[in-house]
Structure 1
Amino acid sequence: MSMLLSALVADLKASLSDAAAQFRAADDGDFKRLLGVALADMQAKRPITKPGEVGLFALQARYAVQAQDFAALKTHMWADPANTPKPWEPSYPGLVPRVAAAWDGVAWWLEFSPAPTMLQITVWGDTFRFWYFARHLLSETPDATTINPADRGLLLLRAQAEAMRELAMRNVVKPQQMRDGYTSMPRNGTPAALFESLLAEFKGVR
């Protein structure tokens, strides 16, 4: 089935049945937002790992991450123990700096604590290679959506749960009829009950 954003929106609307009428934003904005919430949870459920790198400079502690889809630092390959001199050797570079990813409200940075020294760069290299978790993407461009087609139903299931949560927050208590995106089974219940049921099903999927 199509993984284009428009196709996902159409299927989400259809699955919500009459409840879809409660979401009235222009240009299907509500449904895109619901899918966006689901997409964020898919990062934990179905993470994407990609490689990245930055060039290091002595005594510089902060480096801009160039990857536009960066979500979190996973691990790095710098400071290979096999290539590290022993503590009693003159060329011992000291302890490996701690590295963390930081978001400043505009961009992601890698922060070294303390900053790498010239000796460390000489021993371990001036290229810091790492693995990072990437953000998922929904797109109208063919093959640009990063969700695996096999997980299409899982994405819709989480979006449906979010829709029921919002209806419950609006104090909608009338039972809703829908068909869940993962098993395609019909569901009936209040929005609050459906939210709990759908979210539990999403969390239970391996």
Structure 2
Amino acid sequence: MNIDYLINELQISLGDTAEHFEVGGDFSVGGRRLIDAALSAYSQHRPRTKPGKLLLVSGQMNYTAPVDLIGFKMSNWGHSAPLWQPNRPRSIPRPTLVGERGSYALCFNQAPSLGHIQCFGREYHYLYYAEQSVNENGDLLLPRTELDLVMLRAQAEAMKELSMHHSNKTVSANNSVASPAKNDKPIYVYQQLMAEFEERIRA
């Protein structure tokens, strides 16, 4: 589904509350920010799985990770060679993440040796977890039921922000797929939306 359509849906669901996120009467920038925050939170529970590849260098422990990597999943590197293969290394280097999100490095617990590379190959193929994101065409490729969860989390993000600046104002959020409209102070609407999100994301 196109991001512009989702932003419009979010604006409609927030009703009059959406005006707090407008810039010069335009909701698109504020709405995109809320949806991006929701996607980041959603991805902690249901990330994408993507392939990655490193070119190993003998004696080198650290390698740059993809920018969208949020977790390492697995690799079969080193497991294809039979145990009885001559000169097969006994231990297989395994990577962990070091650094901060967006600039992670894959750090092996031991540097791959020339023996590792000769036996298992220089190309280290692996799978990693990545955030759900909008593609180059402006589309978010998730099923409708998952998009509803992203929308729910975006509403919660909106209520969280409002609770810091308009704590006593009565606001509303309407998620027609999940539940009837919620009307209350922002912090209470936020808590209700988050409780619903956590319940549904774990279902």
* 1:156–1:182 Cα contact (<8 Å) kept: no
Please identify runs of 4+ aligned residues in structure 1 that moved more than 6 A: none
Partner-residue secondary structure (3-state), 1:147? coil
Give 1:172's aligned residue.
167
Q: 1:127 to 1:78 in 2, by over 3 A?
A: same
Q: TM-score, normalised by structure 1?
A: 0.84
Which residues in structure 2 correspond to 1:56-135 (within 5 Å)?
A: 56-65=56-65, 67=66, 69-80=68-79, 83-85=82-84, 91-103=87-99, 107-135=103-131
* 1:93–1:120 Cα contact (<8 Å) kept: yes
In the TM superposition, residue 124 of structure 1 has moved relative to its aligned partner by: 2.0
Q: 1:19 to 1:140 in 2, by over 3 A?
A: farther
Give 2:47's aligned residue.
47
Q: What is the RMSD of the two structures over their aligned residues, measured on CA atoms? A: 2.4
* 1:48–1:136 Cα contact (<8 Å) kept: yes
Q: Deviations over 1:87-120 (max 9, x none)?
A: xxx7241322231233468744322222111112
Give 1:7's aligned residue.
5
Aligned-pair identity in percent equals 30
Partner-residue secondary structure (3-state), 2:112? coil
Greater Cα offset, 9-18 or 185-194:
185-194
Q: 1:57 to 1:178 in 2, by over 3 A?
A: closer
CA distance in 1: counterparts of 2:56 and 2:136, whole angstroms: 37
In the TM superposition, residue 63 of structure 1 has moved relative to its aligned partner by: 2.5
Give 1:190's aligned residue.
185
Q: 1:17 to 1:203 in 2, by over 3 A?
A: same
CA distance in 2: counterparts of 1:10 and 1:106, whole angstroms: 28
The number of residues matched between the two structures is 199
Partner-residue secondary structure (3-state), 1:114? coil
In the TM superposition, residue 59 of structure 1 has moved relative to its aligned partner by: 1.1
CA distance in 1: counterparts of 2:161 and 2:99, whole angstroms: 29
* 1:153–1:181 Cα contact (<8 Å) kept: no
CA distance in 1: counterparts of 2:140 and 2:98, whole angstroms: 26
Greater Cα offset, 151-160 or 114-123:
114-123
CA distance in 1: counterparts of 2:68 and 2:132, whole angstroms: 8
Q: TM-score, normalised by structure 2?
A: 0.86
CA distance in 1: counterparts of 2:196 and 2:137, whole angstroms: 30
Partner-residue secondary structure (3-state), 1:164? helix
- Counterpart of 1:152 in structure 2: which amino acid? L
Partner-residue secondary structure (3-state), 1:45? coil
- Counterpart of 1:19 in structure 2: which amino acid? T
Where structure 2 has 5 or more consecutive residues not aligned to the other structure, the ranges are none
